[in-house]
Amino acid sequence: MSKKVQIDATDRKILSFLIKNARTSFLEIARHCKISGAAIHQRIRKLEDAGIISGSKFIVKPKAVGFDICAFVGILLDKGHIFAHVIKEIEKIPEIVECHFTTGTWSLLVKMYCVDNQHLMNVLVNKMQKIPGIARTETFISLDQAIDREFSI
């Protein structure tokens, strides 16, 4: 079992700045937190070492690069024990950006982006549904994303 790390109000403030913009300089965060840049550096290192934060990234908006279809696909597996094999095959499909092992009707729920409906159908029929162990799928096309935010504390 992993040990929970205690974070204080300053750590939360640092995380808030980093969530909004990972490129915020340590000195700018230090000024807002009223502590030294070195202290910010140490606290961020502590948060990284504890596994609370990892890396930073740029976010590419799929529609801006021509991927107009966002779909969620519920996947039912033949048997639960083939989970690891199916995940390895799903990882080979670049259109899939998230995969969750879930409770309820579906064994897995994946999120994917495609250029258009034809592209989506091709991925479903010629890639996903050919993976051994997938019994069936159900696709949900997102018409609009009402909320788009990163996790915050």
Number of CB atoms found within 10 A of residue 128's CB: 22
Secondary element (H or E) of residue 142: strand 134-142
Q: Which domains does the chain have, with CATH numbers?
A: 9-49 (1.10.10.10), 62-142 (3.30.70.920)
Both structure tokens of 78? 């033949």
Residue 76's pLDDT is 96
Cα–Cα distance between 137 and 135 in angstroms, integer?
7
Any idea what the Cα angle at residue 145 is, between residues 99 and 97, rounded to 5°?
A: 25
Over its length of 153 residues, how does the chain's per-residue pLDDT go in tens digits? 456 778 999 999 999 999 888 899 999 999 999 999 999 999 999 999 999 998 888 888 999 999 999 999 999 999 878 999 999 999 999 999 999 999 999 999 999 999 999 999 999 999 999 999 999 999 999 999 999 887 777
Residue 69's pLDDT is 98
Cα–Cα distance between 116 and 100 in angstroms, integer?
23
Residue 3's pLDDT is 64
Instruction: Taking each helix axis as running N to C, give the angle between helix 9-20 and helix 37-49, from 0 to 180 degrees, rounded to the nearest 10.
Output: 90
Cβ atoms 30, 17 nearer than 8 A: no
Cα–Cα distance between 135 and 92 in angstroms, integer?
19
Residue 57's pLDDT is 80
SS3 126: helix
Residue 1's pLDDT is 43
Distance of CA 96 to the CA centre of its chain: 11
